[in-house]
Amino acid sequence: MGLVRAVRFRGRQTGRVRDGRREARYNQMMSLVVVGSVAYDGVETPGAQVDRILGGACTYISVAASFFTKVSIVGVVGEDFAEEDIAFLGSRGVDLTGLERAAGKTFFWRGRYAEDMNTRTTLQTDLNVFADFQPKLPESHRGYPYLLLGNIQPSLQQQVLEQMKSPRVVAGDTMDLWIQTTRDDLVATIRHWDALIINDQEARMLSGETNLRRAARIIMAMGPNTLIIKRGEFGAILFHRDCLFYAPGYLLEEVFDPTGAGDSFAGGFMGYVAQKGLQLSAPDLDMRELARAVIYGSVMGSFCCEKFGVDRFRDLTRAEIDARFQEFRTFTGF
């Protein structure tokens, strides 16, 4: 009897090991690498103010994406980066192997929002350790299939891409600063991307066109087969090859802090793309799946606005996310 029990015990353990290996393989197949800024923010809104809170594009993207898939970040922080913030990122399952701690202070940004919560004034920007950021991907990350590049310098984005082995999907963001000052580098870099995620002002600036449909055609001719133009409270427009999908914004009763909403959108979008194992260059890609990814991006952006910084994500559940996704289906169905 003892031998039988031992054999059965070993069998159960072997099953657990096999399940663990299958889970590890699945995580690697769907893993997303996010590169960008991990920072502290100071935010002033018409109704409240916070002097120092966890922020940064890489932070918002990775936390939002972590509700859908396994996420690894590559960034740099200073000696002042709090252990409680490390713990929070770890609690979301974010792999911090690529997060470097350097001598000095963490990137800090402070801004003030106008009464309409759409207009933002930058009051302070201290790059600190981020000024010398040279992203280095751990060897374990280089074979991951999904890559999302935050709005760092185009030359650094290209350096990251060159460290990847053969990513299934490469997506990225940029900003007006890089469009104005490093346009040639930016155009050369996005030539190798599958998706570009920018706002309407940046789309017009990059294309030289005021009409967004014409702007999209010009930008996609630069390389990306997928373009998402974010329009803040007015939603987002998805362009993929010859297809177009428009998603409205989620109507919140109160916008508490819009900082990071665009990055949270990107995290939700790419998190869902990775979760479903989508390949944006595939000729048989289901456009409905890509539309769902946009809606999940909008969902994550809306939750971000409900509290300062990433605080809404601390107690957010996947059930709440899926419920809001269904709300989108309800108010857009006809």
In this prediction, residue 334 has a pLDDT band, given cuts at 50, 70 and 90, of: confident
Quote the pLDDT of residue 2: 33
Above 90 in pLDDT, residue 200? yes
Spell out the domains of the chain, with CATH numbers in brackets. 33-332 (3.40.1190.20)
Report the pLDDT value the prediction gives residue 21, as an integer from 0 to 100. 60
By C-alpha distance, which of 170, 191, 190 is closest to 274?
170
Segment 170-197 shows an average pLDDT of 96
Q: What is the pLDDT of residue 302?
A: 97
When pLDDT is averaged across residues 212-220 and rounded to a whole number, the result is: 97
What is d(CA 237, CA 116) in angstroms, rounded to the nearest whole number? 22
Instruction: Quickly state the pLDDT bin for 10 (edges 50, 70, 90).
Output: very low
Question: Does residue 6 register a pLDDT over 50?
Answer: no
Contact of 155 with 174, CB cutoff 8 Å: no
Q: Which of 188, 170, 167 is nearest to 178 (CA)?
A: 188
Res. 117 pLDDT band, cuts 50 70 90: confident
C-alpha–C-alpha distance, residues 165 and 161, integer Å = 8
| Of 124, 38, 21, 31, nearest in space to 76 by CA | 38
The arithmetic mean of pLDDT across residues 82-89, rounded, is 97
Instruction: Please state whether 91 falls in left (phi above 0), alpha (psi between -120 and 50) or beta.
Output: alpha
Tokens 């409900």 belong to residue: 306
> Is residue 52 pLDDT above 60, yes or no?
yes
Q: Residue 47 has what pLDDT?
A: 86
- Mean pLDDT, the chain, rounded, equals 91
Asked if residue 25 has pLDDT above 70, the reply is: no
Determine the pLDDT at residue 285. 96
- CA atoms of 35 and 304, how far apart (whole Å): 20
Whether residue 18 is predicted with pLDDT greater than 70 in this model: the reply is: no
Q: Inform me whether the pLDDT recorded for 26 exceeds 90.
A: no
Query: What was the pLDDT predicted at 11?
Result: 42
pLDDT of 218 strictly over 60: yes
Query: Which pLDDT belongs to residue 27?
Result: 57
Average pLDDT in the 140-145 region?
96
Q: What is the pLDDT of residues 264-310, one digit of tens each?
A: 999 999 999 999 999 999 999 999 999 999 999 999 999 999 999 99
pLDDT band for 116, please (50, 70, 90 cuts).
confident
Q: Mapped to the 3 state alphabet, what secondary structure does the chain carry? A: CHHHHHHHHHHHHHHHHHHHHHHHHHHHHHCEEEECCCEEEEEECCCCEEEEEEECHHHHHHHHHCCCCCEEEEEEECCCCCHHHHHHHHHCCCEEEEEEECCCCCCEEEEEECCCCCCEEEEEEECHHHHHCCCCCCHHHCCCCEEEECCCCHHHHHHHHHHCCCCCEEEEECCHHHHHHCHHHHHHHHCCCCEEEEEHHHHHHHHCCCCHHHHHHHHHCCCCCEEEEECHHHCEEEEECCEEEEECCCCCCCCCCCCCHHHHHHHHHHHHHHHCCCCCCCCCCCHHHHHHHHHHHHHHHHHHCCCCCCHHHHCCCHHHHHHHHHHHHHHHCC
pLDDT tops 90 at residue 104: yes
pLDDT at 19 over 70: no
C-alpha 189/C-alpha 159 separation (Å) is 10
For residue 47, the Cα-to-chain-centroid distance in whole angstroms is: 27
